[in-house]
Amino acid sequence: MTSISRRVVLITGAASGIGLAAARAFSQAEDSVILSDIDGSLAIKQAEKLGPSHMGIKLDVAQESSVNDAIAAILSRYGRIDVLINNAGIVDPKGTPAINKDLNEVEHILRVNLEGCYTMARVVGQSMLQRGQGVIVNVASMAGVMAIPGRTAYSMSKGAVLGFTRALACEWAAKGIRVNAVLPGYVATEIVRSLVENQQVETRQVNRRIPLGRMAEPEEIAEPIVWAASNTYLTGSQITVDGGYHAYGGSGP
Ligand code: NAD
């Protein structure tokens, strides 16, 4: 079994963006990090760069069998998972109005963004409940509390993740498990880059609506994720990290 430095942290969607930045931040805090992603080979490559106490693995949060297999492999190597970061997520790629949306696309977004969190929490939660300790951080979005026109499925999924966070936090608090959500605003990652490339998002227009005048860097979201996983009195909370976007109050561009 791998020698464990401090906490054992499992991150979904960790091959890029916010998940990768969080993996780096936890590793800098001397934690052992499992970088999981539907792109298993990239997750393995990224883990190798972090060092030998870390691990990369293929895990598709939308496939229960993939989740079960990966968690079994992780537990056999590390013996436990202390922290679960439910970060994997996808967005409505075309911004189609709700009335015209392809229901298969809506279902797929809900399966990854919402059911993915639930499946991960249930499978990892079994071992956390047995040990009577654990922490879960769900990466939601400002889209869960504000309208982002054209991203109906994404907004539905992220709003539901917030409800799930509150419900699970209350159910598991007495069992030693804390559950919180981090709500990023716009972050300069692949999700946003592809929307910009497809002319779904116009960077200058977005930046005008953000009081701090720019999108976040992934590291600026990783930091509150690490904090949410570490503070011992935090549960059922929503931590907004959006450059003032919500305070500004307008609906998204
Ligand atoms: P990203 O595209 O860089 O990273 C997402 C990662 O999830 C990718 O590595 C991808 O391969 C992986 N992934 C996709 N489907 C998966 C699946 N079924 N199983 C496992 N992994 C899967 O994007 P990001 O911005 O880093 O997104 C991370 C999280 O942050 C998402 O939940 C996203 O909704 C949320 N978020 C992002 C922004 C933003 O502006 N970038 C804003 C608010 C919330």
Q: What pLDDT shows up at residue 150?
A: 87
CA dist 213 and 207 (Å) reads 5
CB 211 within 8 A of CB 205: no
Residues of the chain under the 70 pLDDT cut:
1-5, 250-253
Annotated catalytic residue: which of 154, 186, 233, 248? Answer: 154
Could you tell me which of 166, 219, 158 has the C-alpha nearest to residue 183?
158
Q: Which atom of ligand 1 is nearest to the CA of 112?
A: 18
CB 8 within 8 A of CB 29: no
Both tokens assigned to 188: 């300069």
CA dist 146 and 165 (Å) reads 17
Q: What pLDDT shows up at residue 2?
A: 55
Is 154 in the active site? yes
Pocket around ligand 1 at a 6 A CB cut-off: 12-13, 15-19, 37-39, 59-62, 87-90, 112, 139, 141, 184, 186-187, 189-192
Q: What pLDDT shows up at residue 249?
A: 80
In order of 13, 15, 95, the CA distances from 36 in angstroms are 6, 7, 28
CA of 252 to the centre of ligand 1 (A): 19
CA of 165 to the centre of ligand 1 (A): 18
CA dist 138 and 140 (Å) reads 6
Structure confidence by residue, pLDDT tens digits, 182-233 = 999 999 999 999 989 988 889 999 999 999 999 999 999 999 999 999 999 9
